[in-house]
Amino acid sequence: MNIKKAILASMLVSSMLVAVADPIPAGAGAAQEQQLDRWTIQIDPKWTEKLNQAVKLFAGEDVQLQKVGKLDFNNKNASKITEVRSVDGKYSLQFDYDTGIIWTVSGKTATIDQISKQEQEDVLKWLKAIYPKKKYAFDNEVEVIHQFTDEKLSKTSKAEVREEKTYELKGKDFSASLHKLDGIPEHIGHITIDFDKKELDPKLLKTVVDAAQTVSTNKFEMTTAQLRVDLSPIISKNKPNITWVFHDGKVTIYADPNTGKINSIYNELGKQVRENKGISEKEAREAVAPIVKKVFNIDMNGYSVKWDGTEKDFAFTKKNGMNVRAALDANKKVVYIRVGRAAAPGIIKYAADLEAKPH
């Protein structure tokens, strides 16, 4: 695998490791199916046999997969990538729901003693450097994610599970990914650290709750607060990215850990329009400007606005280089708003608008 493909593989695997929500179990009733959020999709039956064969190739036995999958909303560059898990939760795979191309297969098939002491120590050093107040201990179970060669991409037209893999290490309040991919050095990909409400700065939490209320009529009841650190930039000698992520199943907020300022807000239950028919640029500005002012303290006067047919959203730009990007639903309600670097087209959703500062 060349370096470009290896890095793409790293991105695909890493984005799966930091997904916020779990798939809805198979067998959900019709009423529940109607309430699926915009990231949960029914698996097209035409891919069922292919997916079953791929996971069987990995597991060595028949595995029952769920009938729904989760779109990878952490990676805007891989927005058609869907994760499907087995009913028992032990196995999963990632595939493109349009083409059916399978990218990875995985399973909870390793233990922590199969990870070298040096690699364990490297992960612990990063965890302690990011947030030293917690005690970190690894769970015994380790998920192994293998790169998969789909028959559509294979020179021999044969599907196969490759040796290139990622280990997902977990413990109380944290997870970390170890990449062992062809073409790039072995490295830690992502680290996430979970926090309880009582561990958060009350001022930061209030800022998050207030922001959530601007795009949702539901009360924000936080279920997830995480520090997410992307260490992949280290490969190219850049500093890692780090961001706060707050989630309640309905709204997701991204904030700068250094300043506490919010840089992205998503209504996860919103249905983003795929074309701008019926929504003028003037109406888009009127819908977005009050929220941008309230949440980000940005005055939209002087900003130009243009529909982006690729991203399916509205791009607001100013001559000084400040950018705002927003998506709307059919009722002109905000689905998401991103500002600063986070507003760049094709941005990976978890990438923060900052660099990690040394402890």
Express each pLDDT in 151-182 by its tens digit. Answer: 988 888 899 999 999 999 999 999 999 999 88
Q: What is the pLDDT of residue 181?
A: 85
Q: How long is the chain?
A: 359
Distance of CA 148 to the CA centre of its chain: 20
Residue pair 323/316 in contact (Cβ under 8 Å)? The answer is yes
Q: Would you say residue 196 has pLDDT above 60?
A: yes
Average pLDDT (108-112) is 96
pLDDT tens readout for residues 203-243:
999 999 999 999 988 889 998 899 999 998 888 888 888 99
DSSP strand pairing (174-180 vs 187-194): antiparallel
pTM for the full model?
0.81
Amino acid symbol at 320: N
Q: Which residues contact 55 (CB under 8 A, 6 or more apart)?
A: 63, 65, 86, 91, 93, 105
Average pLDDT (25-54) is 66
Of 29-38, 88-97, 192-201, the least confident: 29-38
Q: What is the pLDDT of residue 337?
A: 95
**pLDDT over 90 percentage in the chain:** 62
Q: What is the pLDDT of residue 252?
A: 92
Place of tokens 């941008």: 292
Q: Would you say residue 87 has pLDDT above 90?
A: yes
Q: Would you say residue 195 has pLDDT above 80?
A: yes
pLDDT tens readout for residues 256-285:
998 999 999 999 888 888 888 889 999 999
Helix (H) or strand (E) holding 253: strand 251-255
For residue 114, what pLDDT band results from cuts at 50, 70 and 90?
very high
Q: Would you say residue 83 has pLDDT above 50?
A: yes
Q: What is the pLDDT of residue 30?
A: 31
Q: Would you say residue 359 has pLDDT above 70?
A: no
Count of CA atoms in the C-beta half-sphere (13 A) of 176? 24
Structure tokens that stand for 307 in this block: 């529909």
Residue pair 211/336 in contact (Cβ under 8 Å)? The answer is no
Place of tokens 């998401």: 336
Q: What is the pLDDT of residue 310?
A: 85
Of 26-30, 111-115, 219-223, the least confident: 26-30
How far apart CA 333 and CA 267 sit, in angstroms, is: 10
Which DSSP symbol is given to 28? -
* CB neighbourhood size of 203 (10 A): 9
Q: What is the pLDDT of residue 347?
A: 55
For residue 27, what pLDDT band results from cuts at 50, 70 and 90?
very low
3-state secondary structure of 175: strand
Residue pair 59/65 in contact (Cβ under 8 Å)? The answer is no
Q: Would you say residue 355 has pLDDT above 60?
A: no
Higher pLDDT, residue 128 or 35: 128
